[in-house]
Structure 1
Amino acid sequence: MRGLKTILVLSCGMTLGILGANGQDLHFSQWFNAPLITNPANTGFIPDADYRLGANYRDQWSAIMAAPYRTMSLWGDAQVFRNRIENGWMGLGGVILRDDAGSSTLTSTSVYASVAYHQMVGFASLLSIGFNTGWVNKRINTSNLKFPDQFDGKFFDNTLPTSVVIDHPSDNYLDMQIGMNYAYFPTNKMYLNGGFSVQHFNRPRESFFNTDPVGFDSRIAPRYTGFVNASIKVNEQVIVNPMGYYTQMAGASEMVIGLNAQFNLQDEGDQQVIGGLYMRPGDAIIPMIGFVYKNIRLTFTYDVTTSALKHYDGGYGSWEFALLNQGFYSQYNGDKRQSLCPTFKP
């Protein structure tokens, strides 16, 4: 009887976790390669280029799930009005996000547009403020769900009738995020950067029911995110990038700290090898490798589980890659704008 009660409680909890709001937000271990969802003030903050296009893919829990969680994104941003605003510019960009939870029981599709303003203060400081707004769709595949009243004493059978009525299996809402950044460029061999953002600050309602159960609030809790990073040119062959990231939402939190190093293989930096190591304290160690060829950068990370979950997944966590292409506008030709951050290029 005790086992039956445990199964029913777990079933209820998992069902509410799927059908209610305040679920885990989408995230990447390579948060620094997903700049627009980390902080909209990053839109157009491209110290070593004028535009960039990126893609991210994350495969999570494939060792313990037949159908793992998959998260992917396509994004791009660019600097505009550089010649029209004194010591400043604007950034425009957009992001498309897609997430499949398990065997497509819950899917999420998001489209965001971002805008930011950047203003140099003196010769070495930059202040930025950004905003994004987007459309979010959450869809649930009800044929894969099983409810407590479908338990036949041994198994959950979704062919049995249930008293649970889902009012609409698809939910749409408007989501907003705001953020601020500060960057400091003391020399051409170093820059420091930090920022803070608030996502879901408009508190959109996310639910597959018309009304909330008593005592339950289906509005999404704000998500607070802060980060710091630096780029330090050690010599003509090595640039080191230490960084840290922290996010908190509805009592849940995540922290990622670590660094990577870029190793120059050619005089002008057209070919580089990247190696790094990050960690989520108490959860995972995250080694990173990558390669740069001209304007294209590809990086790969693997989350090695260190938490109690390692007893179930054998330490095999999640893998993730990020692809980035960036460059200067064609009108610059050979007279490229001076980079604001350490670079191997002359």
Structure 2
Amino acid sequence: MNRKSTAIRNNACRAIGLFVLLCGALTSRAQDLHYSQFMNSPLLTNPANTGFMPDADYRIGVNYRDQWSSVMSVPYKTMSLFGDAQVLQNRDNDGWLGVGGLILRDVAGSGNLTTTRIYGSVAYHQSLSLSSLLSAGFNVGWANKQINATNLKFPDQFDGKFFDANIPTSAVLTTNNLSYVDIQAGMNYAYFPNENTYLNVGFSTHHINRPRETFFTGESGVDDRIPMRHTAFINGSFKTSDQWIINPNAYFSLQTKSYEVVVGLNAHYNLSGDGEKILIGGLYYRHQDAVIPMIGFGLKDFVFNFTYDATISTLRNYNNTRGAFEFSLIKQGVVDRYNGNRRQSMCPTFKN
């Protein structure tokens, strides 16, 4: 194949790719924004996680994800900041309210499709016995999407070799800025029969109010509302010795016909003997998409984790398996006024 034919083929591939990505962005049929480290983005995964900290009273965290930098001139970048705390504990110290908030921002592609979301979360947690806990919560937020249409190229502007911005396009955006209210709700159940065993399962539904989201004029017979997304997860924590804690995790998400399944585990190794320094390693698998190794480090109340999505789908032919990298940094602690009153940690820990 000569260079000219190769260039035409590559341009055609880019045209198809841009069209697919744009359609997913503008019609909201693609999966929601997500992190591979679902276990380290608790409020985004399930609002019932608000104030749900087995061994702390509050936490603050940041997440960052950089995706498709190897195949796009402007990669997808997702970042978030969250915080939550336990408040209003009852007299028996077996129930409490959790409050928190989440700010999320995502910038995608050459059109700078920018998503900003701000949520406030509330959850209530009630012990059912000495070894189980039930939680329910919801969040309400404001979401905004903007796009720079001047940087977009559409399939009908492809002349067979290049994209020509002078060629009129039939794709007409009626707005480049939209906002709406978004609502989520969820439930969790935790089981901790002894100090070395902990299990947690949860289910949540996102976009319960199904807000409308489109940059085009509404058409009869076209549903421009965001479909509800249902998620479920299970987390486990097992202390096998004074040096090791094993944490298996599984996550499932379904939105219309799009689904995501992530399974794997991570292990914590007690470096210092008192739990103040912890080494973290793990491996996860996203079904038919990526293998995700994890490495991290814990120092006192801070935990840092880094993951890398190594693509195993057919997209690896274009990105050389370089899918995405992601990190999280979380600090959690105990408020002084709860010392002496707070019940013992529900989750296996190295700390006394």
Establish whether TM, by shorter chain, passes 0.5: yes
Which of these residues, 231, 253, 260, is aligned with residue 225 of structure 1?
231
Instruction: Return the alpha-carbon distance in structure 1 between the equivalents of residues 258 and 214 of structure 2.
Output: 20
Q: Secondary structure at the residue paired with 2:43?
A: helix
Q: Secondary structure at the residue paired with 1:266?
A: coil
- The amino acid of 1:142's aligned partner reads A
Q: Secondary structure at the residue paired with 2:144?
A: strand
Q: Secondary structure at the residue paired with 2:240?
A: strand
Query: What is the aligned partner in structure 1 of residue 52 from structure 2?
Result: 45
Structure 1 residues 337 and 186, CA, compared in 2 at 3 Å: closer, same or farther? closer
Map 1:137-176 onto structure 2 (within 5 A). Answer: 137-152=144-159, 154-176=161-183
Q: Secondary structure at the residue paired with 2:145?
A: strand
Structure 2 residue 255 is the aligned partner of structure 1 residue 249: yes
Structure 1 residues 336 and 85, CA, compared in 2 at 3 Å: closer, same or farther? closer
Structure 1 residues 233 and 79, CA, compared in 2 at 3 Å: closer, same or farther? same
Structure 2 residue 122 is the aligned partner of structure 1 residue 127: no
- The amino acid of 1:229's aligned partner reads N
Q: Deviations over 1:114-163 (max 9, x none)?
A: 10000000111100001011110010111112234434454322234444
Quote how far apart the aligned CAs of 1:72 are.
Answer: 0.6
Query: What is the aligned partner in structure 1 of residue 3 from structure 2?
Result: none
Instruction: Return the alpha-carbon distance in structure 2 between the equivalents of residues 10 and 257 of structure 1.
Output: 28
Aligned residues: 344
Q: Secondary structure at the residue paired with 2:35?
A: coil
- The amino acid of 2:45's aligned partner reads T
Q: Secondary structure at the residue paired with 1:246?
A: strand
Q: Give the conservation status (yes or no) of the 8 Å contact 1:301–1:319.
A: yes
Structure 2 residue 324 is the aligned partner of structure 1 residue 322: no
Structure 1 residues 84 and 172, CA, compared in 2 at 3 Å: closer, same or farther? farther
Instruction: Return the alpha-carbon distance in structure 1 between the equivalents of residues 92 and 141 of structure 2.
Output: 27
Structure 2 residue 66 is the aligned partner of structure 1 residue 59: yes
Quote how far apart the aligned CAs of 1:334 are.
Answer: 7.3
Quote how far apart the aligned CAs of 1:9 are.
Answer: 7.4
Q: Secondary structure at the residue paired with 2:246?
A: strand
Q: Give the conservation status (yes or no) of the 8 Å contact 1:200–1:221.
A: yes
Q: Give the conservation status (yes or no) of the 8 Å contact 1:22–1:219.
A: no
Which of these residues, 195, 202, 206, is aligned with residue 202 of structure 2?
195
Q: Give the conservation status (yes or no) of the 8 Å contact 1:234–1:240.
A: yes
Q: Secondary structure at the residue paired with 2:216?
A: coil
Query: What is the aligned partner in structure 1 of residue 101 from structure 2?
Result: 94
Instruction: Return the alpha-carbon distance in structure 2 between the equivalents of residues 287 and 4 of structure 1.
Output: 33
Which of these residues, 250, 271, 277, is aligned with residue 271 of structure 1?
277
Quote how far apart the aligned CAs of 1:4 are.
Answer: 11
- The amino acid of 2:257's aligned partner reads G
Instruction: Return the alpha-carbon distance in structure 1 between the equivalents of residues 169 and 312 of structure 2.
Output: 40
Structure 2 residue 299 is the aligned partner of structure 1 residue 293: yes
Runs of 5+ in structure 2 lacking a partner? Answer: 1-9
Which of these residues, 307, 312, 316, is aligned with residue 306 of structure 1?
312
Q: Give the conservation status (yes or no) of the 8 Å contact 1:305–1:315.
A: yes
Structure 1 residues 288 and 16, CA, compared in 2 at 3 Å: closer, same or farther? closer
Instruction: Return the alpha-carbon distance in structure 1 between the equivalents of residues 20 and 61 of structure 2.
Output: 36
Which of these residues, 91, 113, 124, is aligned with residue 106 of structure 1?
113
Deviates more, 1:24-33 or 1:8-17: 8-17
Structure 1 residues 215 and 17, CA, compared in 2 at 3 Å: closer, same or farther? farther
Over the matched positions of the two proteins, sequence identity in percent amounts to 55
Query: What is the aligned partner in structure 1 of residue 240 from structure 2?
Result: 234
Query: What is the aligned partner in structure 1 of residue 4 from structure 2?
Result: none
Quote how far apart the aligned CAs of 1:24 are.
Answer: 2.6
Deviates more, 1:8-17 or 1:44-53: 8-17
Q: TM (normalized to structure 1)?
A: 0.93
Q: Please give the root-mean-square deviation of Cα atoms over the aligned residues, in Å.
A: 2.3
Instruction: Return the alpha-carbon distance in structure 2 between the equivalents of residues 339 and 11 of structure 1.
Output: 49
Instruction: Return the alpha-carbon distance in structure 2 between the equivalents of residues 287 and 145 of structure 1.
Output: 34
Structure 1 residues 298 and 12, CA, compared in 2 at 3 Å: closer, same or farther? closer
Q: Give the conservation status (yes or no) of the 8 Å contact 2:81–2:104.
A: yes
Structure 1 residues 223 and 85, CA, compared in 2 at 3 Å: closer, same or farther? farther
Query: What is the aligned partner in structure 1 of residue 211 from structure 2?
Result: 204
Instruction: Return the alpha-carbon distance in structure 2 between the equivalents of residues 85 and 169 of structure 1.
Output: 53
Query: What is the aligned partner in structure 2 of residue 344 from structure 1?
Result: 350
Q: Give the conservation status (yes or no) of the 8 Å contact 2:31–2:259.
A: no
Structure 1 residues 88 and 130, CA, compared in 2 at 3 Å: closer, same or farther? same
Structure 1 residues 4 and 78, CA, compared in 2 at 3 Å: closer, same or farther? closer
Instruction: Return the alpha-carbon distance in structure 1 between the equivalents of residues 15 and 63 of structure 2.
Output: 37
